Amino acid sequence: MVPYVILRRHGPTSYEIAAQDQPSQALGTYHSSQLTPYRGLEKEVPPPVVPIRRRGRPRKHNVQNQ
């Protein structure tokens, strides 16, 4: 993930972005659902406190009779 510069806001959900090293040259217009906030390096982000639970029924465990 590389941080980008927001140049303009187009409507309530679209943004025009540019690279940090070339802020005068627009890369394109993107919907807000395609953008995520920059949080730094991945190693700096702590792991989640509660593990993610899987939905649905648990898997069956086949027991072989001997």
Nearest to 2 by CA among 37, 46, 45: 37
Residue 7 burial by Cβ neighbours in a 10 Å radius (0-12, 13-18, 19+): middle
Rounded to two decimals, what is the model's pTM? 0.55
Structure tokens at 45: 């982000």
The dihedral formed by the CA atoms of 24, 30, 33 and 39, expressed in degrees to the nearest 10: -20
**For residue 38, what pLDDT is reported?**
80
Residue 49 has what pLDDT?
65
In the numeric block, which tokens belong to residue 39? 């949080």
For the chain, give every domain's residue range: 4-38
Interval 12-56: pLDDT, tens: 999 999 988 888 899 999 999 998 888 766 666 666 666 667 788
